[in-house]
Amino acid sequence: MKARPMKTPVYLDYHATTPVDPRVIERMLPYFGERFGNPASRSHRFGWEAEKAVDLARRRVAALAGATPREIVFTSGATESNNLALKGVMEACRSRGNHLVTLATEHKAVLDPTRHLERQGFRVTVLAPEPDGLVSLDRLREALAPDTVLVSVMAANNEIGVLQPVAEIGALCRERGILFHSDAAQAFGKIPLDVERDSIDLLSITAHKLYGPKGIGALYVRRRNPRVPLAAQIDGGGHEAGMRSGTLNVPAIAGFGEACAIAAVEMAGEAARLAALRDHLRARLEADIEGVRVNGSLERRLPGNLNISFEGVEADALLMTLPDLALSTGSACSSATVEPSHVLRALGVGEERARGAVRFGLGRWTTAEEVDYAAGRIGAAARNLRALRPQ
């Protein structure tokens, strides 16, 4: 991928969203124009062309997940996929049990649906993570009960980038006959995932985190060994094998498939490049600024993620002085709140450190020049803010 010349503001918030890859845009464009058909129209060429595009995209998404095409249900994104997985399984399996286990550092798109389920009479156990952000497999094992139906643990955390041991979790659930769901919005297309190898029964994914368009995602639903029962949450036409009704967004689906095809080829090289850039950024910041604390495991982490707290500096104040950098203080989906990150608080991080946390998200077009520029600007801004603090 040809590097773009540096310009400001420098975008370092690839966990919030990614720019659509030009190759993805090129793939999408015909389905806004001359190939505008509805894939449900099976009596003429316009519908056939649309259906062909959807089928190809479904195969591409499935291939990146290690699934079969029939196991991919297109949705509007990971939030809808999470809701369909959690509510759909618990409602369909009510006769088997009413208990669900999840982790306190999950995205709100998992935690909020579990609260909804609690109001419906289901029992939910929310486990605290270890200080490095990883789930304790022993604690998870202890939380499982005879009436446990589902375990939901994300593959990669959206704030601290920690990679959970999904294969070990999947094996534990499979031993106990419990279904395993993973929110892979941040992980899919960035690290290898395989639903068979990892014993994952439901996987939530989205296109806009891997250089595809916004508003399209998918839920992998296992069809055999075991077949996952699922109660539809949107009715009206029986689309997507009755699991998610509504006219399919063909241009976005075509783009999603193209993004997955690109990731399948480029993921390994991109991950190595981003990990090197991330480590360089960390080294620059630690050399330039005292009191730098990395949040979350360094060993098990997304290649392009760095979550750092700057001692004695409020992240919001820091970012206000840096209009030339696009950074985040936490999840883009809940950044309107003034409360400290629920992820960092779940790790046992104190409020001051949590309020000083900045999330760096490096991506496909991040350059070494941009990383060096950002490190220099942040170092100067942090020192200035510390100098202004009352002694």
Residues forming the active site:
333
Distance separating alpha carbons of residues 253 and 231, to the nearest angstrom: 23
Distance separating alpha carbons of residues 260 and 206, to the nearest angstrom: 10
Q: Are 187 and 164 in contact (CB under 8 A)?
A: no
Q: Are 208 and 218 in contact (CB under 8 A)?
A: no
DSSP codes joined into one string, 331-360: -TTSTT--SPPHHHHHTT--HHHHHTEEEE
Q: Are 313 and 382 in contact (CB under 8 A)?
A: yes
Distance separating alpha carbons of residues 249 and 259, to the nearest angstrom: 15
Phi/psi region, residue 179 (left: phi>0; alpha: psi -120 to 50; beta: rest), is: beta
DSSP codes joined into one string, 102-153: EETTS-HHHHHHHHHHHHTT-EEEEEPPPTTSPPPHHHHHHH--TTEEEEE-
CA 309 to chain centre: 22
Handedness of CA 43, 49, 54, 59 (dihedral sign): positive
Q: Are 221 and 230 in contact (CB under 8 A)?
A: yes
Among 253, 214, 261, 259, which Cα is nearest to 38's? 253
CA 159 to chain centre: 10
Q: How many other β-carbons are positioned within 10 Å of the β-carbon of residue 38?
A: 13
Distance separating alpha carbons of residues 186 and 88, to the nearest angstrom: 22
